[in-house]
Amino acid sequence: MRFRLPFLGIIASKDPMDGLTKHYDKIAECIQIINDSVECYVTGDATCKEFGDLIEQIDTVESQADKIKRSIRNHLPHSMFMSVDKTLFFNYTRSQDNILDNAQEALHWLAMRKVSIATEYQKDLILLLSEVNDTTTRLGPALKATIELNNGSSIDREKTKQAIRKVRKHYARAVELRKELTHKIYNSDMEFKDIYQLTHFVDCLSEMAHQAEGCADILRAMLAR
């Protein structure tokens, strides 16, 4: 069994990995805003009064997340010893931030113009959103477990690997749901611009799950070092 010594805790008073958990918290906020937005969009009348407020909220959260990301990068001394490879650390930071970028783009595309979503597609859209939620939500425990393993506060390597596998499992399901929904939308009788708008929204949701799965892959690589 391999043990990782908490070198970082000895050399540095603050682990840069902890900043990633603060950045991840903003993803959870974005997910809630998208959930509220889709509910508002699907169930609302011709004009949804709350939708503009939700757009402002997600823009604010994304901006706050960008500040956290810049703080993480700008306050990382070049000479600092880290328990994980710095390239992996920066790659993870970028991929996690891409989740937020895609969440923001998804909502802006949904707000582009009002599209009447037929009842037969509403359930599929909500199922996809739920699976994207599960994929990104599972990333939080995987990140926390990886940090604990690498800083020496945990030695449960298998538990960490299981947390990472759960992210991949939900992503695989999200991919299947995206394919099914995209096929239905393209073969519908909707106008082309409605089809384009909805499929782009669906692609953005799917990309959120894809980036979360990419984050999980990087976390797994961190365990291998």
pLDDT in tens, 56-78: 999 999 999 999 999 888 877 66
Integer Cα distance of 225 and 222 in angstroms:
6
Name every residue whose Cβ is closer than 8 Å to that of residue 8 and which is 6 or more positions away in sequence.
Answer: 15, 81, 82, 83, 151
pLDDT at res. 106: 94
Integer Cα distance of 174 and 146 in angstroms:
24
Residues 59, 80 contacting (CB under 8 angstroms) = no
Over residues 9-37, the mean pLDDT reads 79
Name every residue whose Cβ is closer than 8 Å to that of residue 208 and which is 6 or more positions away in sequence.
Answer: 99, 102, 103, 106, 132, 135, 136
pLDDT at res. 10: 41
Ramachandran sector of residue 152 (left: φ over 0; alpha: ψ -120 to 50; beta: rest): left
- The yes-or-no verdict on residue 17 having pLDDT over 60 is yes
Tokens linked to 44: 């609302």
Report, in angstroms and rounded to the nearest whole number, the Rg of the chain calculated over CA atoms: 19
Over residues 184-199, the mean pLDDT reads 93
Over residues 21-33, the mean pLDDT reads 91
User: Cα dist. 136→30, 156, 173, 207 in Å?
Assistant: 11, 22, 13, 11
Residues 158, 146 contacting (CB under 8 angstroms) = no
pLDDT band at 28 (very low <50, low <70, confident <90, very high): confident
pLDDT at res. 18: 80
pLDDT at res. 46: 54
Which of 163-202 are b and which e, b meaning 16 or more Cβ less than 10 Å from the residue's Cβ? bbebbbebbebbbebbeebbeebeeeebeeebbebbbebb
Integer Cα distance of 17 and 177 in angstroms:
33
Tell me, rounded to whole angstroms, the distance of Cα 20 from its chain centroid: 12
- The yes-or-no verdict on residue 3 having pLDDT over 70 is no
> How does the average pLDDT of the chain come out, rounded?
86
